[in-house]
Amino acid sequence: MTSVVEKVIGKKFTFFSGKGGVGKSTCAAATALFISENDRKTLLVSTDPAHSLSDVFNKKIGRSIFSITEHLDALEIDPSFEAKKYVRRVKSDISGIISPVLISEIKKQIEIAYLTPGAEEAAIFDKFIEITQNKKLNYDNIVFDTAPTGHTLRLLSLPKILGVWIDSLIEKRRKIVQLKKSVDRIYGRKGKNNEDPLLSLLLKRRSRFELARKILLDKNRTCFIFVVTPEKLSIAETKMSVELLKKYKIEITGLIINRITPEVKNGSPFLEKRRKIELQNIEHLNALLKVNILAKIPLLDMDIQGIEQLRKLREYI
Amino acid sequence: MSENKMKKTILKIKENLSDFAEGFFKEQAAGILEKEIEDFNDMFMILCFGDLLGIPTPASYYTLELLPYFIGEIDRWESRINRRSKVFSERCARYDFCC
């Protein structure tokens, strides 16, 4: 076992993040593969709307769980499918409660929900919670290949933002229910004593958000790995996201530096110059972030695709 | 006979008094509470569906599932909002303590 796998194998949830195009999916796939080869049932989940796991494994992985090897399964969350599923559920809830005349009235509202900003993220977030909570998914490790930094940060900060929002909703609704009861009491009406369905729905949502928050903040169960390339832009973005995550009290477990120009005997001055710059950048990264560097992967002379080629990364990850 | 009649009259007066009290006090108390419910309902509505008015909501996606349980109230709310001619007059009426 090498450094990354060793660090990650004891944690149930592992998140891979980083700037677009640095090799997150490849690193996540390789890590998941090596964990699974230690006799642990592993699920690799892509939360990136532009999926690349299918390309990494050279297999058609879809929105339902796909078996790659004996111990390794993979899944690509399809946000628009999840959102549609949710809308369908709401529609069927509606038809059980109100008259068809009113249904046509609020269909407009429902269609808007597809288009609201954040719908995709929310759909991914819901699926993420479902995966972490589903007891039928009996996995030892779940590895998340997340979308490029901005997207992921949104995803990780959602529980906090939504928590604040839902808290104030619950408070208002409670007050309304309480006041309605008082009015009933004045008139001596026997108010319906059953729970307000709206309030119980809100409370259920809140408890799900809280679960997600708990998982993200639990250092014993969850770890975050950032993938960077030894380039200024990649490092700058990583620094920004590490600091932002700190704000949400999420700590980075370690870094993987990908695509370092290797030392070549009788190498061209072009490559030598590039190498020097990269070494400087790595030093800078070290001073800047003070985060463990778990692995350094050199630039390889081929593309990585399929399980056989992923195994070539074993000596590094 | 006259005793019975008196009893009837007293009962009637009692009934009227209690009707008066109910009308005067209960209605007023309930009216105040109902106004407050309206206030909270307005806030709740804006938090839930503010995006339709141009106020961004962090989770308009999640308010969708509240809709089925809401639809009756939305109807009442909508007609109340439509009925009032002036927002200020409704506000000011709340501070009218004389009756």
Report the alpha-carbon distance of residue A54 to residue A62 in Å, rounded: 8
| Percentage of residues in chain A having pLDDT higher than 70 | 94
The answer on pLDDT for A150 being more than 80 is no
The answer on pLDDT for A1 being more than 70 is no
- Domain ranges in chain B are 2-93
The answer on pLDDT for A101 being more than 80 is no
| Superfamily holding A3-81+118-313 | P-loop containing nucleotide triphosphate hydrolases (3.40.50.300)
Closest in B29, B59, B65 to A201, CB measured: B65
- Domain ranges in chain A are 3-81+118-313
Choose among A128, A123, A133: nearest CA to A46.
A128
Test A86 with B47 for CB contact under 8 angstroms: no
Cβ of residue B54 closer than 8 Å to a chain A Cβ: no
Distance from CA of B89 to the nearest CA of A (A): 23
- Chain A residues 180-209 with CB within 8 Å of chain B: 180, 182-183, 186-187, 197-198, 201-202, 205
Question: Per residue in B18-52, pLDDT tens?
Answer: 888 878 888 888 888 888 888 888 888 888 888 77
Question: Per residue in A194-253, pLDDT tens?
Answer: 788 889 999 999 998 888 888 888 999 999 999 999 999 999 999 988 888 888 888 889
Report the alpha-carbon distance of residue A28 to residue A76 in Å, rounded: 13
Distance from CA of B4 to the nearest CA of A (A): 31
Measured between beta carbons, which residues in chain A are less than 8 angstroms from residue B62?
Answer: 122, 162, 166, 205
User: For residue B14, what pLDDT is reported?
Assistant: 93
> Could you give the ipTM of this predicted complex?
0.74
Burial (CB count <10 Å: 0-12, 13-18, 19+), residue A175: middle
